[in-house]
Amino acid sequence: MGVFDRFFGGREDGPADNGKPIANPALENPLSLQVLLRERLQLDSEGLTRSLRAYHPELARATCDFEPAGENKDVVLGVAGWENHVVKLFGINGPLRSEVVELCVRSAHYKQELKQQARRHQSYVSLDYAGYEEAAYEQYVALAAVAGALAEHGAVMVLNEPGHVSFPAGALERSGVGDTRALLHGLLLLLYCGFIKYEVEDVPGVWMRTHGCHLLGLPDLAFHAEGHHQGQKMFDIFQSVLGHALNGGAELGAGHTMQVGQDVFLRLRAPSEEEGFLDSDGELFVAEMIGADQINRPR
């Protein structure tokens, strides 16, 4: 079975065809990341396979194959896989839509130089999960592993459009980190979901919220802060709360209260009619600071 057939999937009973990964044809609405590259596409099957296998011991038997899909070779299809993971790669010689790049890059908290590199990219690769792992978080980890391998092949930025977030590809490169698996599992609000700060016209203070949590089966969270100085604190709180819920340790809903620090307590509520700007593709709850005496007590 060739790359083209394996890209579109040909069966539903397993991840490999004679040792070669094959996309799961039963998977709908797959998770996806977009990887921006400095130069035009120059990917080769052997090179990316080597990078994948070196990325982490769990990928020691990974494979990746590419095949041109257009007459002028400006479109490339690829299939990467290991164990029960399969990732489809759809490469384009040309820039990703500027509105998507700006959505993910504009409010990011890294150097302007990296933002300009992202805006000047010459090609991109869309990574779509197409494997047999059921846990959405592990699917994102697999996608990020392929993005990390692409960092050795000219990738400059990794984008998550539903999360409104981007992450420098160089930070995923295996030569720059120790335990790559630990790194990939720690990207909850850095790549798999987004944490955005923004000011609303005629509304004092700064709103801080997440995007894309619904793809992990979680609600988005928002907080109306006094100013930008509370950003790191709320990032850490949201990361902790969502991480706890992701691991089955907490249920999040309107009216729920929780302790998130030694002297820090929260209550969740639904957005008010005046907070229509807090739109979300799934559920969203606004977090409010409360006193210790208000925990588990109705208003």
DSSP string, 87-101: EEEEEESSPPPHHHH
Phi, psi of 195, deg, nearest 5: -125, 110
Are the C-beta atoms of residues 15 and 86 closer than 8 Å to each other? yes
**98-110 burial string, b = 16+ CB within 10 Å, else e?**
eebbebbbeebee
Mean pLDDT of the chain: 92
What tokens appear for 288 in the block?
């409010």
Domain boundaries, the chain: 3-192, 194-294
Q: What is the pLDDT of residue 270?
A: 96
Q: Give me the mean pLDDT over the 281-298 stretch.
A: 88
> Tens digits of per-residue pLDDT, 38-76?
999 988 999 999 999 999 999 999 999 999 887 777 899
Q: How confident is the model at residue 174 (pLDDT cuts 50, 70, 90)?
A: confident
pTM (2 decimals)?
0.93
Rounded distance between C-alpha atoms, residue 192 and residue 171, angstroms: 15
Q: Give me the mean pLDDT over the 193-210 stretch.
A: 93
Rounded distance between C-alpha atoms, residue 281 and residue 208, angstroms: 17
Q: How confident is the model at residue 140 (pLDDT cuts 50, 70, 90)?
A: very high
Which residue type occupies 63?
Answer: T
Rounded distance between C-alpha atoms, residue 7 and residue 251, angstroms: 37
User: Is it the case that residue 10 has pLDDT exceeding 90?
Assistant: no
Rounded distance between C-alpha atoms, residue 287 and residue 255, angstroms: 10
Interacting residues of 204 by C-beta distance below 8 A, sequence separation 6+ = none
User: Is it the case that residue 250 has pLDDT exceeding 90?
Assistant: no
